[in-house]
């Protein structure tokens, strides 16, 4: 078993008492005789994901590339040594991996590279606790892999040749229009013009938990650990004042809270109240939007999300402004409550479902959360060079949620019942049982889009959609 001896990084940064190299990015790659030129074009298209530098490495006719968003440390990518890796994400157990491999490193990308070299890709993936999308090449074979929840995006082409990237716009930049998303938990293997996909990781389903006290205690502990893994100094929270983001704020009181909504909207009022109840008024950054703010941001939001769908745009815009505000104040890491609704039955449509029906609906929504939500959120935050972290989609939180009986998720008409019980000891009762409106409506942005459509002469059922299509 071969173990790579890796260089110790000398640029140390003190974060919560630990030296750690954290580098987020965008990745791209291609296979073929013009692969290097194609990768350069793709990296140019996603340079917003990595304003601190870029790197390219070729082995034969396969080229891997990376744009760098440095949070701490100086480790550049692609990493190469008898193989090459380009990687986007966070491996939270990389220190344990490094210790098992008997290597010294403060970089999760180096630990991942060494693990792959030591055990092979499929075995390596089984040991990872984190959010990732990566490409690895050796012996003229290219491998792509994505984390089981799909927190980090990865796209590839289905036509002639082969290329991949963190965003579709990178593939559009080299003339590719036939694009597919690598499914969460899947690995793609490309060799000699042929490609194959297979599922290599997922979420385990263990013994059913039906006792409320047991479930709430286990859930609190799991969420607390998930937030602790992802907290960073300085750190921001996309804060709506609802249950999900308030739990994260209560567990991460040093973070800055960023809230966005139309002036006078539900979200603006709710976040003020929630911050006060949490004793975090001094941490709250409110951005009250005008209709002119919304109009001016539309081109950037539509470009980032690569969609003119009114629902997607209206949900994406608050996060776009929140991450931009955080970036402007020197923050590069933001936590989000994304995933709690799909795990613990937060949507109104879940209320009337029977337990078996609810369990199936929740699993389906979890399986589709990457396509429906995560890819959008990653795109708008990375457009502002801010890394989004999602504690509720921590592997151990997800697997625990799958064990909790659906009867504990909606009880007596109370949605997210077990999550509320888990939060009782760290939040005021008023916040624990506060109902939250859908983001697109509570922020007031969906209504603002309707006003803009009418102002620009659009009428009828699809007025907003037709208005947004012009951008």
Residues with catalytic roles:
25
Hey, how many other C-beta atoms are within 10 angstroms of the C-beta on 292?
Answer: 10
Among candidates 459, 320, 469, 375, which has minimal Cα distance to 154? 375
The residues, ordered by sequence, that sit 6+ positions from 282 with a Cβ below 8 Å of its Cβ are: none
The residues, ordered by sequence, that sit 6+ positions from 464 with a Cβ below 8 Å of its Cβ are: 310, 449, 450, 453, 458
The residues, ordered by sequence, that sit 6+ positions from 93 with a Cβ below 8 Å of its Cβ are: 127, 128, 129, 130
Question: Phi first, then psi: what are they for 269, rounded to 5°?
Answer: -70, -40
Rounded to a whole number of angstroms, the CA Rg of the chain reads: 22
Residue 349 · residue 365 · CB < 8 Å: no
Bond before 324 cis per omega within 30 degrees: no
The number of CA neighbours under 13 Å toward the Cβ of 247 is 30
Bond before 196 cis per omega within 30 degrees: no
Which helix H or strand E contains 23, and what residues bound it? strand 23-31
Question: Phi first, then psi: what are they for 186, rounded to 5°?
Answer: -105, 160
């Amino acid at each position: 078993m071969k173990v790579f001896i890796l260089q110790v990084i000398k640029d140390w940064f003190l974060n919560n008492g630990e030296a750690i190299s954290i580098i987020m990015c965008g990745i791209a790659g291609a296979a073929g005789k013009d692969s290097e030129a194609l990768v350069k074009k793709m990296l140019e298209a996603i340079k917003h994901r990595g304003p601190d530098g870029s790197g390219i490495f070729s082995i034969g006719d396969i080229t891997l590339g990376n744009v760098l968003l440095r949070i701490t440390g100086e480790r550049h990518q692609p990493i190469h040594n008898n193989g090459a890796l380009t990687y986007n994400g966070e491996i939270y157990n990389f220190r344990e991996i490094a210790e098992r491999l008997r290597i010294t490193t403060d970089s999760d990308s180096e630990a991942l590279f060494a693990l792959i070299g030591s055990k092979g890709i499929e075995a390596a993936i089984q040991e990872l606790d984190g959010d990732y999308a990566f490409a690895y090449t050796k012996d003229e074979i290219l491998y792509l892999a994505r984390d089981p929840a799909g927190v980090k995006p990865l796209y590839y082409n289905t036509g002639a040749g082969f290329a991949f990237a963190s965003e579709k716009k990178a593939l559009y930049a080299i003339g590719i229009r036939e694009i597919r998303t690598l499914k969460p938990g899947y690995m793609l293997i490309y060799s000699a013009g042929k490609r194959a996909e297979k599922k290599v990781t997922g979420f385990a389903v263990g013994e059913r938990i039906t006792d409320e006290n047991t479930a709430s205690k286990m859930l609190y502990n799991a969420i607390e650990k998930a937030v602790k893994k992802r907290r960073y100094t300085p750190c921001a929270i996309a804060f709506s004042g609802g249950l999900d983001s308030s739990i994260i704020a209560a567990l991460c009181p040093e973070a800055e809270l960023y809230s966005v909504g139309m002036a006078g909207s539900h979200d603006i009022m709710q976040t003020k109240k929630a911050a006060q109840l949490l004793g975090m008024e001094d941490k709250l950054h409110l951005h009250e939007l005008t209709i002119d703010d919304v109009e001016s941001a539309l081109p950037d939001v539509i470009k980032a999300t690569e969609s003119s769908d009114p629902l997607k745009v209206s949900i994406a815009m608050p996060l776009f402004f929140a991450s931009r505000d955080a970036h402007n104040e020197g923050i590069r890491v933001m936590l989000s409550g994304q995933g709690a609704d799909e795990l613990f039955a937060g949507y109104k449509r879940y209320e009337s479902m029977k337990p078996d029906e609810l369990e199936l609906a929740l699993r389906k929504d979890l399986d589709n959360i990457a396509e429906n939500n995560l890819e959008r959120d990653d795109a708008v935050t990375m457009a502002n060079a801010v890394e989004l972290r999602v504690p509720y989609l921590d592997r151990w939180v997800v697997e625990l949620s799958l064990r909790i009986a659906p009867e504990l998720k909606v009880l007596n008409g109370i949605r997210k019942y077990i999550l509320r019980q888990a939060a009782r000891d760290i939040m005021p009762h008023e916040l624990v049982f506060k109902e939250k409106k859908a983001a697109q409506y509570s922020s007031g942005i969906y209504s603002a889009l309707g006003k803009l459509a009418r102002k620009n002469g659009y009428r009828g059922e699809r007025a907003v959609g037709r208005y947004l299509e012009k951008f």
